[in-house]
Amino acid sequence: MAGLPCRLLLLCLAAAATSADLVLEEVRRSLDLSTHLAKISAELSLANAPGGAAASTFLLALEPGLEPRLAHLGVQVKGEEEEENTLEVKETKVKGKSGKFFSVKLPSPLAPGAKVRVSVEMVFTHVLQPYPTHITQSEKQFVVFEGNHYFYSPYVTKSQTTRVKLASRNVESYTKLGNPSRTEDTIEYGPFKDIPPYSQDTLKVHYENNSPFLTITSMTRVIEVSHWGNIAVEETVDLKHTGAVLKGPFSRYDYQRQPDSGISSVKSFKTILPAAAQDVYYRDEIGNISTSHLLVLDDSVEMEIRPRFPLFGGWKTHYIIGYNLPSYEYLYNLGDQYALKMRFVDHVFDEQVTDSLTVKIVLPEGAKNIHVDSPYEINRASDELHYTYLDTFGRPVIVAHKSNLVEQHIQDIVVHYTFNKILMLQEPLLVVGAFYILFFTVIVYVRLDFSITKDPAAEARMKVACITEQVLTLVNKRLGLYRHFDEAVNKYKQSRDISTLNSGKKSLEMEHKALTSEIASLQSKLKTEGSDLCDKVSEIQKLDGQVKELVLKSSVEAERLVAGKLKKDTYIENEKMHSNKRQDLVSKIDNILDAL
């Protein structure tokens, strides 16, 4: 144990020596301020002084004014064949210094006297401040950026140049340290020589920037996984224009008539969906938004999102977008081991900024041993349970949060879990069981008699009602026979074919006799049951006999008309008289049927 303090002391001395021996021989820094983000990239030539110890790591420091706005930091090293390797970056602390520091691990220790070329990329959000903060619809938007003329570093920098890329050539003012040169929308500073560590000098640029200052203030991304072949994705987005706030009224007429009216506003933007996305919907609280357009490409699906109104500074909108994906493209398994590989955040619009993101991944019911691999640090909340159709004990939901995201965070997250495939039979068995119970209950209910005592009067009434229903059917069918015979008589008058008439008459007699016999049988049953409806059925029989007699008389007169034994005028007069009598008899029969 006595050797442990000695070893720690040696490590500290080695780290101190390494930090003191490293030198930035050349720094070429570039500030891209052409959008609403501040993208700072730097090409570093890092050298280890001769005679010192080999360095396996080096430090990166953030400018105190920009460190709260850092969204992304990436470091790469260029090899001999110009290939770029991403280096491991970890936040660390430096004794006696405040602010954020990062320790970057080199691919191999840097020997004394050796050099390495390193590329650093940083993205900052909400550092471009609108000035003035309020503008009218016809005014252009100007912003102010404040940074550092020097590359903020714990090491001595022998030579440095800085190139600032702006959104336009319209520049109100900028600092002029070292007599910078300006061409169109670019300002170049330097070279600066022999810059001490932690050097600061305020760089300030005030310029026109009408880029879309869109910010996703809040976003909830729900990924619901089904082992039946589908992955449902839904994103709820709260969007805000964080540029200069609109001052005064908004004129739709001027906005459509003048091309430069509301030049800094946002009419629409493009969202990139996965190539396999289908069943896409875009809606808000009011309902479906029909102003969107969908374009299917080979490697993606482009969706033009057009809000219900243009977004000016300070204006907000809220919408929901969702789609389905085939699970075979994102879900992998080996036996009971499953791995879901999907993006933690997807492309919403170009140069996107997300202040707050919540991702919920709903796994199938029965998923266990859940493990998440993320390409960057995320905040895991407590897992939840989600209940949908046919769920019994709930589906596990992974909940993760992250703030201040940009396009560089569009990377895959991998969720590992185990799932017993037997559980896939759970939902079909639940459906089968539910229908089985339903049918069994209906069968039991129908077949069992739940009455306490039998009611002979009720049974008699049911029998009479059944017999009456049969009588009604037979009487209506018998009346239909007369209509069919009338059609046969009309055909006979046209064709003068006596066989047609004889055939119709024979058919009428046979069927009428059968139906009358059945009605008489039912009449006897009613009499047996002691129902007074028997008399009404008897009356129907008598009236029907009179109807039949009139029908046959009409057919006889039709024969005489065709044979020339009866004048046409007389036939028409007699037919009219028979028709009236027949109609009165049928009306009486209908009244009795209604009473039944």
Instruction: State pLDDT tens for residues 463-509.
Output: 878 888 888 888 888 888 888 888 888 888 788 888 878 888 888 88
pLDDT at 271 over 90: yes
Tokens linked to 331? 């879900």
Task: Tell me the C-alpha to C-alpha distance, in Å, between residue 59 and each of 18, 71, 155, 245, 247.
Answer: 10, 18, 9, 40, 46
Query: What is the spatial distance between Cα 60 and Cα 75, in angstroms, rounded to a whole number?
Result: 10
Closest CA to 186 of 205, 207, 198, 169: 169
Strand 354-362 versus strand 214-226 pairing type: parallel
Average pLDDT, the chain: 87
pLDDT band at 5 (very low <50, low <70, confident <90, very high): very low
| Residue with the larger pLDDT of the pair 259 and 246 | 246
Quick one: pLDDT at residue 82? 59
Q: What is the mean pLDDT of residues 249-268?
A: 88
The torsion defined by the Cα of 488, 491, 497 and 499, in degrees rounded to 10, comes to -20
Q: What is the mean pLDDT of residues 395-404?
A: 95
pLDDT at 9 over 70: no
pLDDT at 384 over 60: yes
CA angle 491, 495, 500 (to 5 degrees): 60
pLDDT at 8 over 50: no
Closest CA to 409 of 166, 50, 123: 123
Task: Tell me the C-alpha to C-alpha distance, in Å, between residue 361 and each of 400, 413, 565.
Answer: 9, 11, 96
Tokens linked to 165? 């890329």
Tell me 348's DSSP state. -
Query: What is the spatial distance between Cα 330 and Cα 342, in angstroms, rounded to a whole number?
Result: 6
One-letter amino acid for residue 377 of the chain: E
What is the percentage of the chain residues whose pLDDT exceeds 90? 54
Quick one: pLDDT at residue 471? 83
Quick one: pLDDT at residue 425? 85
pLDDT in tens, 299-327: 999 999 999 899 999 999 999 999 999 99
Tokens 């019994």 sit on residue: 392
Task: Tell me the C-alpha to C-alpha distance, in Å, between residue 245 and each of 169, 255, 265, 314, 352.
Answer: 23, 16, 10, 5, 19
pLDDT at 378 over 70: yes
pLDDT at 4 over 50: no
Quick one: pLDDT at residue 3? 45
Compute how many other C-beta atoms are within 10 angstroms of the C-beta atom of residue 264: 25
Tokens linked to 239? 């969007």
Query: What is the spatial distance between Cα 233 and Cα 225, in angstroms, rounded to a whole number?
Result: 9
Q: What is the mean pLDDT of residues 80-95?
A: 82
- Beta bridge partners, 396, equal 385
Query: What is the spatial distance between Cα 118 and Cα 120, in angstroms, rounded to a whole number?
Result: 7
Least confident span in 43-52, 405-414, 522-531, 547-556: 522-531
Contacts of 241 (CB under 8 A, 6+ apart): 212, 213, 214, 215, 265, 266, 311, 312, 313, 314, 315, 316
Closest CA to 22 of 97, 107, 116, 86: 116
Q: What is the mean pLDDT of residues 123-146?
A: 94
**589 backbone dihedrals φ, ψ, rounded to 5°:** -60, -45
Q: What is the mean pLDDT of residues 107-131?
A: 93
pLDDT at 453 over 70: no
Tell me 80's DSSP state. T
pLDDT at 231 over 80: yes
Q: What is the mean pLDDT of residues 340-348?
A: 95
Quick one: pLDDT at residue 567? 82
- What angle in degrees, to the nearest 10, is found between the helix axes of 456-495 and 568-595? 170
**42 backbone dihedrals φ, ψ, rounded to 5°:** -145, 135
Task: Tell me the C-alpha to C-alpha distance, in Å, between residue 140 and each of 144, 313, 388, 416.
Answer: 14, 12, 50, 50
Residue 359 CA from chain centroid, whole number: 14
Quick one: pLDDT at residue 118? 93
| Residue with the larger pLDDT of the pair 12 and 568 | 568
Burial class (CB in 10 A: 0-12, 13-18, 19+), 47: buried
pLDDT at 83 over 70: no
3-state helix, strand and coil shares in percent for the chain, rounded to the nearest 5: 30, 40, 30
Q: What is the pTM of this model?
A: 0.70
pLDDT in tens, 419-435: 988 888 888 888 999 99
Closest CA to 206 of 304, 148, 128, 111: 128
Quick one: pLDDT at residue 64? 83
Q: Which of 408-417, 512-521, 531-540, 563-572 has the highest mean pLDDT?
A: 408-417
Contacts of 586 (CB under 8 A, 6+ apart): 479, 547
pLDDT in tens, 47-76: 998 877 889 999 999 988 888 899 999 999
